[in-house]
Amino acid sequence: MPQPAGALSTSDIAERVLRRLTVLKVGGTPRPADALIVTDAYDGLYDEWFIRGLIRFPKELIPPYAGEGLVLALCSRLSPDFRGEPFATDEAYAEYIYLKANKGPLSPASTAASYF
């Protein structure tokens, strides 16, 4: 199935996360093991946010507006594994960035409304 224009793949997200964590240098290619760690973490984050009503797009077709918030949340979760230290942005703020780009909570079940 072709991707819609501008849609990000899980590989795109993995590459962005690894670059943000400075694991991957400009022009470099992610090591398969590193990319797998990120995509596994994305699967968990996606499932969690889907259950909470924050996500309503297919797991493999990530809209551009969702990219930055997802990358920040994954960096927050994975920074201790890759860098041995916390990431500068905590996950709650990353969720706020995601929701702001998405124009707020997607369902009444969302607990994220407290960030506004």
Residue 71 has pLDDT above 80, yes or no: yes
Residue 20 DSSP SS3: helix
pLDDT digits (tens, 9 = 90+) for 9-42: 999 999 999 999 999 988 889 999 999 999 999 9
Average pLDDT, integer, range 51-67: 90
Residue 95 DSSP SS3: helix
For the chain, percent of residues with pLDDT exceeding 70: 84
Among 32, 9, 52, 94, which Cα is nearest to 86's?
Answer: 94
| CA dist 116 → 17, 84, 88 (Å) | 26, 31, 21
Residue 107: which pLDDT band, with cuts at 50, 70 and 90?
Answer: very low
